[in-house]
Amino acid sequence: MTAKTESVSKIRFRDPQIELAHGAGGKASRRLIEGLFAPLLIGPLDEPLGDASHFSMNGTRLAVTADSYVVRPLTFPGGSIGELAVNGTVNDLAVSGARAEVLVVTFVLEAGLPTEVLEAEVRAMAGAAQRAGVKIVGGDTKVVENGKADRMYITTAGIGQTIPNVHISPKSVRPGDQVLLSGPIGDHGITILLARGELDLEADLRSDTRSVLPMVEALAETAAPGLRWMRDPTRGGVATALNELARDCGLAVHLREEWIPLHDAVRGACELLGLDPLHIANEGQFLAVVAPEFADRALAALQGLSNEAALIGEIRSTPAATVVATSTYGGTRIVDMLVGDPLPRIC
């Protein structure tokens, strides 16, 4: 019995204008991409859109992706916009099953931006590229009037080669498959929130920005035949990534709340502000769905590189296309995608 999947082409984008929510990575973003961009630019999709696109050229299987970075503040504990840009693109390729080879970078700079700020970002990008083993080979720069860009916007595009033996697709996911997470969630999003200074909170937290390629390669080495699907839970968090999976494969993702790794300060900030860690952005983590017979060795491989990697749940057949979280005492709740960014609350 095949699970029912939502036909991507049926989504239409009817909003009269673009709102901030359309860039937040949640439901609204989804509608814009699938309802406007994809039908006009790509045409009918036989596979749901992933983090990167794979194509063949003269017999070689390649992958390409692009990403934009609009971050305030530009620098924060653990990193800066430049590092996010490099790692983000490397990661998109990695979780699609490809090893990034080259990146191109475009800058949109606001007139009045101090050179030392720009230079610091460029150095950060060079450092991140070196650590990630990827070459930045070119790019473009535009300067706009003061007030027309939030200091700087960065877009990166990356090309890489597919990792042998890795064939991932939401359609290959089956009930019984295990859901693995590379490490604690929420560090990046909460770090940014605190760095903005509007909430007057202090904590010893850093962005988790890093390349996940080494972990993906370790997974490929130990569990390639059982590796079904991967995604990096950036904006919108784990909740969004898993809801996309659930929707794309038509099955259910069942999470165990107490298995999800979380740093104390992230938990404290989330409780204080009324936020759900599952909705908070991560920049150095990824999710993997693995066939049950490969799960143990896959988890061991991840833990070798990231000791907080954990098994967080499994795939079941019902309820269709839904993410459910269960607590130790048996209480359940549906974990849904948010519409826009998560907002602190007092009620």
Partner 1 sequence: MCLAIPGKIVELVAGNPDLAVVDVSGVRRTIDTGLLADDPAVPGDWVLIHVGFAMSKISERDALDQMQTLAVLGEDEAALQEVQGYGVLEENKGGP
Partner 2 sequence: MRFVDEFRQPELITKAAEEIRRLADPNRQYRLMEVCGGHTHAIYRFGIKDLLPANIELIHGPGCPVCVLPMGRIDDGLSMAEKPGVIFTAFGDMMRVPGTKGSPLEYKARGRDVRIVYSPMDALKLAQANPDRHVTFFAIGFETTAPSTARTLMRARALGVRNFSVFCNHVTIIPAIRAILDSPDMRLDAFIGPGHVSTVIGCRPYEWIAANEHKPIVVSGFEPVDILQSVVMILRQLREGRAEVENQYKRVVPWEGNRAALRAMAEVFQLRPYFEWRGLGSISQSALRIRDEYAEWDAEHVFSVPGLRVTDPKAAQCGEVLKGVLKPAQCKLFGKECTPEYPIGALMVSSEGSCAAFYNYEHRKAAVAVAVE
Cα–Cα distance, 131 to 210 (Å, whole number): 9
Q: Which residues bind to partner 2, rule: CB under 8 A?
A: 19-21, 27-28, 198-201, 252, 254, 264, 267-268, 271, 273-274, 316-320, 322, 324, 326-334, 336, 338-340, 343-347
Cα–Cα distance, 308 to 183 (Å, whole number): 5
Cα–Cα distance, 218 to 231 (Å, whole number): 16
* Contact partner at residue 265 from partner 2, partner 1, none, CB < 5 to 8 Å by partner kind: partner 1
Our CB check for partner 1 shows the closer of 267 and 316 to be 267
* Contact partner at residue 204 from partner 2, partner 1, none, CB < 5 to 8 Å by partner kind: partner 1
User: Cβ 170 to partner 2, closest distance in Å?
Assistant: 19
Phi and psi for 324 in degrees, rounded to 5? -120, 140
Our CB check for partner 2 shows the closer of 165 and 332 to be 332
Residue 206 burial (10 A CB sphere; 0-12, 13-18, 19+): middle
* Both structure tokens of 89: 């693109």
C-alpha torsion 225→168→129→105, nearest 10: 160
Our CB check for partner 2 shows the closer of 108 and 275 to be 275
* Contact partner at residue 42 from partner 2, partner 1, none, CB < 5 to 8 Å by partner kind: none
Handedness of CA 66, 20, 286, 307 (dihedral sign): positive
* Contact partner at residue 202 from partner 2, partner 1, none, CB < 5 to 8 Å by partner kind: partner 1
Q: What amino acid occupies position 262?
A: L
For 336, other C-beta atoms within 10 Å of its C-beta total 15
Q: Which residues bind to partner 1, rule: CB under 8 A?
A: 200-204, 264-265, 267-269, 271-272, 274, 345-347
User: Cβ 241 to partner 2, closest distance in Å?
Assistant: 17
User: Cβ 28 to partner 2, closest distance in Å?
Assistant: 6
* Contact partner at residue 6 from partner 1, partner 2, none, CB < 5 to 8 Å by partner kind: none
User: Cβ 10 to partner 2, closest distance in Å?
Assistant: 16
Rg (CA), the chain: 20
